[in-house]
Amino acid sequence: MLIELLTKRYPGMRAWLMQRLTALLLAIYSVMALVRFLLLQPNGYEAWVDFFQPCWWRFASWLFWVSLSIHAWLGVRDVFKDYVPNAHVRSVLLKLLVVMLWLYWAWATWLLLV
Amino acid sequence: MKNNPPQPRPSARATLDQKNRPKNLNLLTISLPINALVSILHRATGCVLFLMLPVILLLLQYALASAQHFETVLAILHAPVIKLMLIGLAWAFFHHFFAGIRHLAMDVHWMRTLMKARYTSKVVLVLGVIATLLLAIKLWM
């Protein structure tokens, strides 16, 4: 039954679950970032670059941004669904949202690769 | 001999009531339950965080670009007005964080009764303010 609810026939359930899963990842990364910041106490440019140097941290940050994109898409989509009654305006806004999130994703990926 | 006044038909009465019913859109007269307050703030702070994404990326890019850029970013962040905005953004993050954890807890059926939900709403609001205050102290020290 539970598995059945997560198939393509129930996209709402999938969205619901994705929002929760990405929320968990975002929360875990946020706590990790805070702990790392308090442990390393980066002071100055060199320390700040070192903070973002480790490969695993870059990968974690990248995963964070992927989760953030999905989470923001679902969240803002719900806001549009609730407050934008005009279907045409809403569909334009949703497309704009997707384009912006892809751009941010590319930007973040580039920042973490360089 | 009884002379009953004609009763208006229910449908006619309904339209009359719909015409005369009070328009109560004065937001100051609506009291929001604390659960609803936490919920709408969760949504509002989510929107604010989404709108600030490009600013966060831009700051990160500048801070990592070179030592000079890093100093510029620090100087910008030290301006009192920016500091206040930073604290506002931090509150948005902390509120979204704690309220989100509350929603996750309710999804797995913790703290689900009305009394408990009201209590956890207060906890979420207080935690958000405490976390923001700690950050504010750290920023001004």
Which residue ranges form the domains of chain B, and what is each CATH number? Answer: 34-140 (1.20.1300.10)
pLDDT per position as a tens digit, A8-55: 788 888 899 999 999 999 999 999 999 999 999 998 999 999 999 999
Q: Are B66 and A48 in contact (CB under 8 A)?
A: no
> What distance in Å separates the CA atoms of residue A26 and residue A61, rounded to the nearest whole number?
10
> Does residue B13 surpass a pLDDT of 90?
no
Distance from CA of A27 to the nearest CA of B (A): 7
Alpha helices in chain B (DSSP H): 10-20, 34-51, 53-65, 67-78, 80-107, 114-140
- Which chain A residues are closer than 8 Å to B64 by Cβ? 48-49, 52, 111
Q: What is the ipTM of this complex?
A: 0.92
Domain with A48, as residue range(s), is 2-113
- Which chain B residues are closer than 8 Å to A68 by Cβ? 53
Distance from CA of B16 to the nearest CA of A (A): 28
Number of domains forming the structure of chain A: 1
pLDDT at A7: 80
> Does residue B17 surpass a pLDDT of 70?
no
Count other Cβ atoms within 10 Å, centred on residue B51.
11
- Of A22, A68, B112, whose CA–CA distance to A14 is shortest? A22
Here the tokens at position A4 are 């059945």
- pTM, two decimals, is 0.86
